[in-house]
Structure 1
Amino acid sequence: MTILETERLYLRELEMEDAEALARVLSDPESMQYYPEPFSPKRVKGWIEWNREDYKKYDHGLWAVILKEGDVFLGDCGITMQTIGNETVPEIGYHIIKAYWNQGYATEAANACKEYAFDVLQYPQVFSYTTAANIPSKKVAEKIGMKPYKVFEKNGEKQIVQVVRNWCETGTVLT
């Protein structure tokens, strides 16, 4: 089932059958260099299960990112509920298979998720966070309009939090 669509992509719920394809990003040491470690096959399946539970609990989670041309699995992107400091907030996350980096897919998928968060889920703001060293992820967040929000510690590392709000500078709600 397609959740949302962009010019080049569609996002759908992750299925257990996606585990092998998703492992191409979640188990890759270079792709996961900003995580404590790459995922084992068991952990990739657990990741899919976690998101499938989030679909039921929140009506969102990380979704499979599929390139329309050729129906190619690119990774995952979506909205999860994350505890940042002492708040639980909607966070846009993304993982794209290394062979598809630097083609704008993460930005395109993340921007569509941002719009979905505002238009469908009615969140007033969405966040993204990553380690301070993860410049590529911070740049994707900036490209979809996110601004620095705060810094906190997780797993002994400095995390940079970015936010985008669903209103303009004057406080007027966007339509």
Structure 2
Amino acid sequence: MIVLETERLYLRELVLEDVDALSLVLSDPESMKYYPDPYNREKVKSWIQRNIDNYRTYNHGLWAVVLKDGDIFIGDCGITMQNIDNEVLPEIGFHIIKDYWNKGYATEAANACKEYAFNVINYPAVYSYTSIHNIPSWAVAKKIGMQTYKEYERNGVKIIVHVAYNSNL
């Protein structure tokens, strides 16, 4: 099921058959260097199942990111409920397969998710959080209009949080 479209992409619900494609990013050590470990196949399947469950619970989650040109799966992006400094907040996250980095796809998908959060779900704000060292991720947050919200430490890692507010409310 297609959830939303941009000029070059469409985002659809993940399905368990996406495990091999999603493993290209979630099992890649370079792509996952800000996570404790890259994911094995079983963790990728659990990741997908958790998002399928989130679709039912929240009407959103991480969605498959697919290039319209060629119908190519390039990663995931979406809105998940995350514990950010002891508050459960809607967060925009993404993971793009390395071969598709630096082409604007993460920014395009994340911006579409921000608009979805504001115009469809009516969230008053959306957040993005990552290690202070994950400059590409917080650069995407800035590109989609997010501002630095706060920094805190979690498990010995300095975390930076960005926020965008819904101007429609």
Give the TM-score category using the shorter length: over 0.9
Question: Which residue of 2 is the match for residue 170 of structure 1?
Answer: none
Matching residue of 2:43: 43
Q: CA deviation at 1:86?
A: 1.9
The alpha carbon displacement at 1:153 in A equals 2.0
Q: CA deviation at 1:142?
A: 0.3
Q: How far apart, in 2, do the equivalents of 1:41 and 1:151 lie?
A: 33
Tell me which residue corresponds to 1:54.
Answer: 54
Q: Which amino acid aligns with 1:88?
A: V
Rounded Cα–Cα distance in structure 1 between residues aligned with 2:102 and 2:86: 34
Instruction: Report what 2:95 is aligned to.
Output: 95
CA deviations 1:70-124 (Å, max 9, x no partner) are 0000000000000111211000000000000000000000000000000000001
SS in 2 for 1:55: helix
Aligned position for 1:70 = 70
Distance 2:63 2:23 in 1: 14
Map Cα deviations across residues 60-79 of structure 1 (whole Å, 9 max, x no partner).
00000000000000000000
**In 2, Cα distance between equivalents of 1:120 and 1:59:** 10
Offset at 1:155? 2.8
CA-to-aligned-CA distance 1:15-39 (integer Å, 9 cap, x gap):
0000000000000000001111101
Tell me the equivalent position of 1:25.
25
Cα shift readout 1:117-138 (whole Å, capped 9, x = no counterpart): 0000000100000000000000
What residue in structure 1 maps to residue 11 of structure 2?
11
Partner of 1:160: 160
Instruction: Tell me which residue corresponds to 1:131.
Output: 131
- Take 1:51 and 1:152, find their aligned partners in 2: how far apart are those partners? 26
- How many residue pairs get aligned? The number is 169
- RMSD of the alignment, in Å? 0.8
Deviation at 1:154, TM superposition (A): 2.2
Percent same amino acid at aligned positions? 66
**2:120 equivalent in structure 1:** 120
Gap regions ≥5 residues in structure 1: 168-172
Q: TM-score scaled by structure 1?
A: 0.95
Cα deviation, residue 47, structure 1: 0.3
For the residues of structure 2 that align with 1:17 and 1:150, how far apart are their CA atoms?
38
- In 2, Cα distance between the equivalents of 1:105 and 1:87? 29
